[in-house]
Amino acid sequence: MDKQGRVDAVDAEMASRLLPDTAVRALGRWWDANKAAHRDGTPGAHTVRYTPARWAGATPWPSRLAPVTGTGDAEVSRAEVAAAVADALEREAFREALIATYVWGKGKRGIWGESGPSTLHKILSADGLDAALAEAVTTLREAGAREAYAGLLGRGNGLGPAFFTKFLYFAGQSLPTAQGPAPLILDRVLAGRLHHLAAAVGRETGIDPDGAAVAWAWKRWNWSPHRYGVYLSFMEAAARQLADTKTWPSCARPDLLERALFATGLETHA
């Protein structure tokens, strides 16, 4: 069996097994510690701190974020970013929507340098950015998250999957007519969690005993549209699995699992 064949076989096993008991227990502990903030079954209360003044060159600046002329730090929640993106998309202000998601994604890491505002400046200066974002929103609405992801992949100028999946995620909050699984954030941390789960399945089944094929599929960045689709399908099914347990809210959406999985180091829960 070639590498892709081993990966496909592991994917099929994961789709059948979903989350192991150790992961279910770890996520249940996360819920016990965080349910007061997420009783509605969403991660809307998940708040990020950022420094508005450091983003003074980012325009058009979303009005729902704190003014860049202010001093000190500010906070913004997922729910507030979702509202900012919905407002921007209603006006077809695609750059504004992207800025809101990018600032939330960077948070306090948004320092002057390649990892913060200067990278955002490169992204905003890319030729055809507005058309690419508009096309992504249309594709998300009409064809679904995987196809929208595929359209943004490789657009260059620093707009990598770890950040444009945030744009798709927040855009999806105001596009309930999109087909298929809802878009979710995928970054190197979440890919690492799925890598850990898949590697265990590969070892236990003997499909990928050395983990080489799984490591190739669940790399740290630049995931294929197929891999993003596998991720979305797994997360949707795993959210249903958790909802059937007494350790997880029955009303929870897949993005609550995304939030919890990011925060839960499965590697430390054997």
Domain ranges for the chain, please list them: 3-34+187-268, 47-172
Q: Where are the beta strands (DSSP E) in the chain?
A: 47-50, 74-77
Amino acid 155: pLDDT? 80
3-state secondary structure 192-261: HHHHHHHHHHHHHHCCCCCCHHHHHHCCCCCCCHHHHHHHHHHHHHHHHHHHCCCCCCCCCCHHHHHHHH
Query: For 210, how many CA atoms within 13 A lie in the half-sphere containing its CB?
Result: 4
Sorted by sequence, the CB contacts under 8 Å of residue 164 that are 6+ apart come out as: 136, 149, 152, 155
Residues in the chain, total: 270
Mean pLDDT, contiguous 10-residue spans, the chain (270 residues): 94 97 96 95 95 93 94 95 97 97 86 67 91 95 95 84 95 83 96 97 96 95 96 97 93 95 76
Its pTM stands at 0.94
CB 257 within 8 A of CB 238: yes
